[in-house]
Structure 1
Amino acid sequence: MRHAIEFKLFAPNNKAASLIGCFSDWQEITMNKGEDGYFRAVIDLEDGVYRYKFRIQTQSSNFQPDQWVEVNDPYTTEIEPDREISVLRLKDGAKILDTYVWQYDDQVLPQNNELVIYEMQIPDFCGDQAENEDKFAFLLSKLDYLCELGINAIELMPIYEAPKQYYWGYKVRYFLALRNGYGSSENLKRFIDECHYRGIRVFLDGIYNHCEEECPLLLIDRNYWYYEYMHYPDDPANYWGPEFNYDNYDQKLQIYPAWQFIGDVVRFWVKEFHFDGIRYDAVRQLANRKFLRWLGEEAKKAAGNKPFYNIAEYIPEVVDIVGKDGEFDGCWRESFRIYGLENIAGDTFDLDKIKGSLDAKIHGYPGCTSVINYLASHDRDHLMAEEAFRTADKVEAFKRAKLGAVLLMTAMGVPMLSMGEEFGEVTCHLPNQENKLNWQLLNYQPHRDLFEFYKRLIDLRKNEPAIKSDNIEFFCEDEEAQVLGYLRWCGEASRVAVVANFSNQVLRGYEVSLEGSWRDLLTGKEVKSEGDRLVLDVKELEALVLVGLA
């Protein structure tokens, strides 16, 4: 049975367009232009899979005026890789992506303040174990590992279709198409569904500042959707490709064209794949805050009633991007990594910087969900790859890594782990190059011990309201001994104290001003204060984590 299927292409400034496809033996079908700026053609088609492209008289300045060019559909949800052609799937006379049926939409998911995020670059996470497999199927096989670790949110680095040379995917060619080589859309949905079943949220890395040079919109009418030149010519180091012009307003159609397109992109991914949050790349370069507020609201509308997290990557940091009057729920906090690394990687002990990293309110952040803290990310080396760790004695390096883990997991804010950080991955930052996880490291005791250490801390974080609160108080600031003590609490029922020794000296019989009875998280040993004084033994480069007893 045939159904009338509409093909349309938004190109208000272009003079003519036609449709070509396997259904016409690749002969041109004239498209009619409406007052709304769309070219349209209606074709009677049976259910099945079809391949097609558009031909259009371009308005882009890098071609001759009105030159005919072939372009893929900017809204295509699938690209055939060999010939780079748009793919359309029809079932029961409707356009579909796949036939997956969601199973766990009613599952209760953790709130934003409860999250421990795991940043994942899919091919590198898979390593050599899924070279020729559907990588989403491999991710499914690793869910037990991630559940054992205890994380409850996964942030996927870009999954959009992009040229192979952009390994990380931060230069997008097709904004609604899943990247070829990662796997099927059905398996991605199954992975997200199974994550939800296990109480794990999944975030999308959103690239809305720029695109790759062969993106269809560029070929159709560059200056309608993009700035003609660099948006920030004084900052060429942070120019990654043609930048969307969110200031351009079409008076005739009364729309912001770039808003319309990227809004459609966000709604598609959230509705089609049930993502639970978005990390917005390069927000400082994107700059249009009115648009960003609108886009975040559109994402939450698309998500419905479930929890959603809009996260900004804004470097260098600005506080007013988050909170009640900000455009985002939270932002990446690069200063946590900078100050943390300074104080765990060498001889530096700067109390003000450590306190500022642990308590973001000192710098004006409103609460725990307003910052995402991390020690490593895709843009920054793993701790074990930092020079101070590479050149240190191995035993000392792991002590410093565990000290950093305590700070990360007990600081005010939402912690994020870069994949492999939990077992001491040793590779360096390699932009757009393969950097596969060495899963074999888990077979070596120091790496396995670090993994177990992170497990304990993550479990503590998930089960102690104190660490998920905004409350933090410093009760010990000893510059001479290089000790910092702080208390996290939530009411009377939940208290967690940390006593961190940043020095290379063992401290025996060390007194801190802390009342009550406590249990050492790692040893299980109970200690009790005498009056308001608690006496502790603290090893070098160690942070004691003490859980309050009733």
Structure 2
Amino acid sequence: YKGRHHPDDPFWWGPEFNYEFEDKNLNIKPAVKFITDVVKYWIREFHLDGIRFDAAKQMDNYDILRHLDSIGRSMRPCQPFFSQAEYVPEKEDLCKEYGGPVDACWSSSFHETLRCFLAFKKDEADKYENMANLKYIFSSKTFVNYLSSHDNERLLHDIGRKDSDAFIKMKTAIILLFTSVGIPMIRQGEELGEDGELGNKHVEKSCFPMPWNLLEKKFNVHLLNTFKDLIKLRHINKSLQEDPINFFHEDDQNKILAYSRGMNLVVITHLYKIAKTKYIIGNFPQNGIWIDYITNEKVYVDDVNNLTLDLLQFESRLFIKQI
């Protein structure tokens, strides 16, 4: 392909294939033939059960994505196969639920939004740091959500320290990652508290071994246990697998948002630097006793479905209804 499919896009990694070009002498489309053989090789040799298409925006061809998805599934008959694409910013119409070619699309907005709120990254705050965007990133079931990836710095690195305040922010991020409707993804080492700088020099040649020695520190052990607890909940709680999200409390001034997944699970997130005391959350799904999933603290929702609680700065709470 001559030039770029999207010349105004800041992301570019070199020459792009022309999937439309057909060699009349050989009666083939060379780019389609080549990339089809690549997909077949990886699935056949390494028994992959899914594929991620990098830089789908630069591929700029839904038909080839649909073709490669079909090739992958044909090589794994009667077995699960999951296709996803990276497109910056994410697009719902890339996903099969909306007529697109793949199962899911990476959500760069999820990463950028939490980065703006929790790490004070103001470069795109006007675009991401608002309640409407929070509700958007929490709601789509066809997005792959992540706190960081191989393309950007880790959230803990951007937060800039490892103390009790940093742990509260990371706990908030983990709760939001696993209780959102989309598909949670963990970058290798994130669960251990890896915060090494990625940088921008020869990243593709860098080696990042698992930093197991981090578990010698209490901060990192607490972080790992939080990940394990939320992974377990995601597996056993049907509401997190099936039920839609319902936003029942929104306070833009104090940056507090509450949502439920089903009738028995509630998340309250506070994304502001000033702690709140005796704050009232109304319209709870049910009254009675609820239990904080992380701390096991019991709280009481009164007869008019109000919960009064204290919230630390940047704290999130995850409550399960006591049955």
TM range (shorter): 0.7 to 0.9
Partner of 1:306: 79
Q: Distance in 2 between matches of 1:446 and 1:393?
A: 7
Matches of 1:308 and 1:412, distance apart in 2: 20
Q: Equivalent pairs: percent with the same residue?
A: 31
Q: Which residue of 2 aligns with 1:513?
A: 283
Aligned with 2:260 (options 484, 487, 495): 487
Q: CA deviation at 1:456?
A: 0.7
Which residue does the alignment assign to 1:105?
A: none
| Cα deviation 1:481-532 (Å, max 9, x = unaligned) | 332110012xx6xx31101122331433634321234222122234343223
1:465 aligns with 2:235: no
Partners of 1:452 and 1:312 lie apart in 2 by 30
Q: Which runs of 5+ in 2 are unaligned?
A: none
Alignment partner of 1:423 out of 180, 188, 192: 192
Note if 1:353 corresponds to 2:97: no
Aligned to 1:139: none
The structural deviation recorded for 1:271 is 2.6
Residues in 1 aligned to 2:31 and 2:242: alpha-carbon distance in whole angstroms: 38
Residue aligned with 2:72, SS: helix
Letter in 1 for 2:186: L
Q: CA deviation at 1:548?
A: 2.7
CA distance in 2, matches of 1:499, 1:233: 40
Structure 1 vs Structure 2 CA RMSD: 2.3
Paired residue for 1:524?
A: 296
Indicate the structure (1 or 2) with the bigger Cα radius of gyration: 1
Structure 1's 322 and 352: CA in aligned 2 closer, same or farther, altered over 3 A?
Answer: same
Any idea what SS the aligned residue of 1:398 has?
helix
1:272 partnered with 2:45? yes
Name the residue aligned to 2:171.
Answer: 402
Separation (CA, whole Å) in 1 of partners of 2:75 and 2:13:
29
Correspondences of 1:143-542 after superposition (within 5 Å): 227=1, 229-232=2-5, 234=7, 238-324=11-97, 325-346=99-120, 350-360=130-140, 368=141, 370-386=142-158, 389-390=159-160, 394-430=163-199, 431-432=203-204, 433-469=206-242, 471-489=244-262, 495-503=264-272, 504-508=274-278, 510-514=280-284, 515-516=286-287, 517-540=289-312, 541-542=314-315
- CA drift at 1:236: 8.5
Q: How many aligned positions are there?
A: 308
Given the superposition, is the C-alpha separation of residues 536 and 453 from structure 1 closer, same or farther in structure 2, using an over 3 Å criterion?
A: farther
Query: For residue 529 of structure 1, what is the amino acid of its counterpart?
Result: V
Report the structure, 1 or 2, having the larger helix content: 2
Q: Offset at 1:403? A: 0.9
- After TM superposition, the score normalised by the length of structure 1 is 0.53
1:435-454 CA-partner distances (Å, limit 9, x unpaired): 44432111100111011111
> Which is strand-richer, 1 or 2?
1
Distance 2:239 2:117 in 1: 24
The amino acid of 2:22's aligned partner reads Y
TM-score computed with the length of structure 2 as normaliser? 0.87
Q: What CA deviation, in whole Å up to 9, does each residue of 1:122-167 have, x standing for no partner?
A: xxxxxxxxxxxxxxxxxxxxxxxxxxxxxxxxxxxxxxxxxxxxxx
Determine helix, strand or coil for the equivalent of 1:249. coil
Which shifted more, 282-291 or 325-334?
Answer: 282-291
Shift of 1:233: 8.0
Report SS of the residue matched to 1:303. Answer: coil
1:219-243 CA distance string (max 9 Å, x none): xxxxxxxx3x434483595443343
